[in-house]
Amino acid sequence: PTNGDFTFVSSTEAEDLSGTIDAPDVKLSMGSDNAKDPYATTFLRKRGYGWLLEVEEDDPEDNKPLLEELDIDLKDIYYKIRCVLMPMPSLGFNRQVVRDNPDFWGPLAVVLLFSMISIYGQFRVVSWIITIWIFGSLTIFLLARVLGGEVSYGQVLGVIGYSLLPLIVIAPLLLVIGGFDVVSTLIKLSGVFWAAYSAASLLVGDEFKTKKPLLIYPIFLLYIYFLSLYTGI
């Protein structure tokens, strides 16, 4: 007798029987997994909501620190600040890193700090400081390119921003000796020269040759304007 794909034989005729059974891939479930699962897990899987129980593996790239995600290198920013505040070549700083490796967050922090100390009594100048930083840097960049300089707008933006640090340094001095006009004027001039020298020494390269004053002068005027936004004069 036969039953579907199987043929039944008697035991007396079963000598030397061999063969195979062809069948599609069948997965046997012994019930061990379901026995280990809690009732709620089994219920969700039977109802087709097992995907709610899936756990994604953590990607190491998604667990980066916030500063790394924002591409903020505090050591690099600190080194650039020292290069700007101490522009003397004899100190051994590689000052060209301020120009050759520009960043955005460091100069922005310096500009915002300069804006914060300018808030007292004249809050309206804060937006002007940021605007002048952006468009003043753009003017210096265009002038440098016209004169044959090989600089990018990002480099100019970073150098101009970092070079505001000398004006931030002299700000507390102006608050203390603001009543002495002569001393106050000397400090203002020294701060502007300090800032302009830091910026010009980084942006004005040998490629300008005899055209250096054409770029140094507008940089100097730019920092005079920054100082006027702070002092109101």
Output the pLDDT for position 48: 64
pTM, entire model: 0.64
Per residue in 208-222, pLDDT tens?
666 778 888 899 999
Distance CA 197, CA 159 (A): 11
For 110, the token pair is: 């310096």
What would the DSSP string read from start to end of 42-106?
HHHHHTT-GGGG--PPPPGGGG--HHHHTT--HHHHHHHHHHHH---GGG---TTHHHHS--SHH
Per residue in 39-51, pLDDT tens?
667 766 666 656 5
Q: What are phi and psi of 183, to 5 degrees?
A: -65, -40
Confirm if 129 and 118 have CB atoms less than 8 A apart: yes
The pLDDT of residue 2 is above 50: no
The pLDDT of residue 24 is above 60: no
Beta bridge partners of 114: none
